[in-house]
Amino acid sequence: MKIVRTIRELRSELHGEVGLVPTMGALHAGHLSLFDAARAENEIVVASLFVNAAQFGQPVDLASYPRDEAADAKLAEGAGVDILFAPAEAEIYPPGFATWVDVGDAGEEGAARSGHFRGVATVCVKLFNIVKPRRAYFGQKDAQQAIVVRRIVRDLNIDVQIRVLPTVRDEDGLALSSRNARLSEEERARALALPRALAAGAREYGLGGDAVAATRNALNGLTPDYVELIDLDGVTILATAAKVGATRLIDNVILEGELT
Ligand code: PAF
């Protein structure tokens, strides 16, 4: 695996059908499942590793984001990534950078995190233009992000297929997230209320009942930012977000349909 830091160097390495997995590092098994899919479907697999300051609201959140490039590089290489694109901040946002992608309505998650999806959208469009992938890979756990990215690609006529892969969970059901590392043992136990409440909501939906109310009732003392039904290209998803201690977690389950 080659680690490249500049756009010029990256472009000189690219040929054939490229699969891109955009990441901010702190890689876990969820990312590895995206690398596996990209490996199976493309000639070249590029993973980007860039902690995108533009999508963070609180400076403290950005400052405490886990960074370990050597560990990430080892995992990416083991998963068959060909090129790790790990640019410096100024390579992506050089002095004078002033153009942003305005995403419009981004649901409850967008409302809860002002400016977040503008930052995500801008860096994704830049990565699509830099890497020119045939396919780009995102996790279902960030369903609202997947919706926003699919909409940008459609609205701005960007020629890339957005693949959305299932959420990877720990054995007890907690969705894998780089943020889980911040949970104490006691918080991690409380965080299990999220997947359990979503399962309760999905059961209720299956019985023809109110999935949102059932999820809210099963959150076991966690106060959600929202519980909402979202639509991702015809797939109905039940999504929620809640703080456990100081850590904000998001999770969702599919109620109807299948992601591609
Ligand atoms: O999901 C993430 O890790 C980030 O939002 C992404 C897509 C890499 C953009 O910075």
Rounded to the nearest whole angstrom, what is the distance from the C-alpha of residue 42 to the centroid of ligand 1?
Answer: 20
SS3 content of the chain, % helix, strand, coil (to 5): 45, 25, 35
* CATH code of residue 189: 3.30.1300.10
**Is the same domain home to 39 and 85?**
yes
Give the number of the atom of ligand 1 that is nearest the alpha carbon of residue 124: 9
Specify if 77 maps to a domain: yes
Q: Is 93 part of any domain?
A: yes
Taking CB atoms and a 6 Å cutoff, what residues make up the pocket around ligand 1? 22-24, 52, 55, 120, 123-124, 142, 145
Q: Is residue 112 part of a domain?
A: yes
CA of 22 relative to ligand 1 center, distance in Å: 6
Q: Is 120 in the same domain as 229?
A: no
Q: Is 22 part of any domain?
A: yes
Rounded distance, CA 229 to CA 231, Å? 7
d(Cα 73, Cα 81) in Å, to the nearest integer?
9
Is the pLDDT confidence value at 168 over 90?
A: yes
Which tens digit of pLDDT belongs to each residue from 10-69? 999 999 999 999 999 999 999 999 999 999 999 999 999 999 999 999 898 899 899 999
pLDDT of residue 254: 98
Give the model's pLDDT for residue 189. 98
Residue corresponding to tokens 């006529």: 157
- Looking at the structure, tell me whether residues 138 and 34 fall in a common domain: yes
Q: Which of 105, 137, 165 is the last residue of a domain?
A: 165
List the residue whose alpha carbon is closest to atom 7 of ligand 1. 22
Domain boundary at 140, 165, 190, which? 165
Residue 136 CA to ligand 1 center (angstroms) comes to: 12
What spatial distance separates the first Cα and last Cα of the chain, rounded to whole Å?
28
Please tell me the predicted confidence (pLDDT) of residue 260: 85
177-229: pLDDT as tens digits:
999 999 999 999 999 999 999 999 999 999 999 999 999 999 999 999 999 99
Looking at the fold, whether 231 and 127 belong to one and the same domain comes out as no
Please state the domain count of the chain.
2
Q: Is residue 154 located within the same domain as residue 195?
A: no
Task: For 239, list phi and psi in degrees, rounded to 5.
Answer: -125, 150
Spatial distance between the Cα atoms of 205 and 6, rounded to a whole number of angstroms: 49
196/114 same-domain check = no
CATH number of the domain where residue 39 is located? 3.40.50.620
Residue with the smallest CA separation from ligand 1 atom 9 is: 120
**Cα distances (angstroms) measured from residue 69 to each of 59, 201, 251:** 21, 38, 26
**pLDDT at residue 179, as a whole number:** 93
Q: Indicate if 103 and 230 belong to the same structural domain.
A: no
Question: Are residues 155 and 225 part of one domain?
Answer: no
Residues 105 and 193 in one domain: no
Q: Please indicate, yes or no, if residue 69 is contained in any of the structural domains.
A: yes
Which has the minimum average pLDDT: 67-71, 94-98, 104-108? 104-108
Domain that holds residue 38: 2-165
Question: What are 129-146's pLDDT values in tens digits?
Answer: 999 999 999 999 999 999
Shared domain for 130 and 38, answered yes or no, is yes
Residues 237 and 229 sit within 8 Å (Cβ to Cβ): yes
Q: Of 139, 165, 191, which residue sits at a domain end?
A: 165
Q: Which residues are catalytic?
A: 31
The verdict on residue 228 lying in a domain is yes
pLDDT band at 102 (very low <50, low <70, confident <90, very high): very high
Express as a percent the part of the chain with pLDDT over 70: 100
Task: Tell me, yes or no, whether 9 and 106 share the same domain.
Answer: yes
Span 221-258, pLDDT tens digits: 999 999 999 999 999 999 999 999 999 999 999 999 99
Ligand 1 atom nearest 23 alpha carbon: 8
C-alpha 216 to ligand 1 mean position (Å): 28
